[in-house]
């Protein structure tokens, strides 16, 4: 049985504003001076707020770098957890069913807990070819017409040579449009 209740694990909302000092801490800065300068230069979306003794800034979460967003989310998970058992003590065996044990084993306990608290009751089906469109876009972008590139793409995308060639042929057919004269005839 899982002995922890976590709030905020689903991540912060993109429209949320974060205190400049929290952002500085997440970035490992000793002061918020460089952040204030970055705000003045328009690097972040921010708003001015009144605090005791003056004014400060809050920075829009969605305007922060992805790494900083991840650090802030990790901090929120730690700060807003009401733990009957410290998070460090949760093991794969604490997961409530075999599916979540498998998720915890493959993707980590944090990922399993995120699913538990953000998507309770939801049944997920992850298709084997979930990344098919992404692979196709990558192949079409990277293919330069050489056999060497074809071989590299086959290995990188875990597809057969025939699959890659068929995709390229299909794209070539699509891109060849009939001349304007033949459309009217």
Helix, strand, coil in percent for the chain, rounding step 5: 55, 10, 35
Render pLDDT for 112-143 as a digit per residue (tens, 0 to 9).
Answer: 888 887 788 888 888 888 899 999 999 999 99
The answer to whether residue 21 scores a pLDDT higher than 80 is yes
Q: Which residue has the tokens 């707020």?
A: 49
pLDDT in tens, 38-83: 999 999 999 999 988 889 999 998 899 989 988 887 776 655 444 5
What per-residue confidence (pLDDT) applies to 120? 84
Q: CB atoms < 10 A from the CB of 75, how many? A: 14
Beta bridge partners of 81: 6
pLDDT reading at 24 higher than 80: yes
């Amino acid at each position: 049985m899982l002995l922890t209740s976590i709030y905020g694990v689903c991540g912060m909302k993109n429209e949320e504003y974060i205190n400049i000092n929290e952002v500085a801490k997440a970035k490992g800065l000793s002061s918020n001076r460089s952040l204030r300068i970055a705000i003045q230069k328009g690097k972040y979306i921010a708003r001015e707020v009144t605090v005791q003794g003056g004014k400060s800034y809050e920075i829009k979460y969605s305007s922060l770098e992805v790494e900083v967003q991840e650090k802030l989310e990790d901090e929120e998970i730690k700060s807003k957890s009401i733990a009957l058992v410290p998070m460090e003590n949760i093991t794969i065996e604490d997961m409530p069913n075999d599916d979540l044990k498998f998720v915890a084993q493959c993707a980590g306990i944090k990922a399993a807990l995120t699913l538990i608290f953000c998507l309770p009751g939801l049944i997920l089906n992850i298709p084997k070819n979930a990344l098919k469109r992404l692979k196709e876009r990558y192949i079409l972008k990277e293919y330069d017409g050489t056999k060497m590139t074809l071989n590299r793409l086959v290995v990188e995308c875990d597809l057969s040579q025939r699959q890659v060639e068929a995709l390229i042929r299909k794209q070539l057919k699509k891109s060849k449009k009939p001349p304007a004269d033949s459309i009217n005839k």
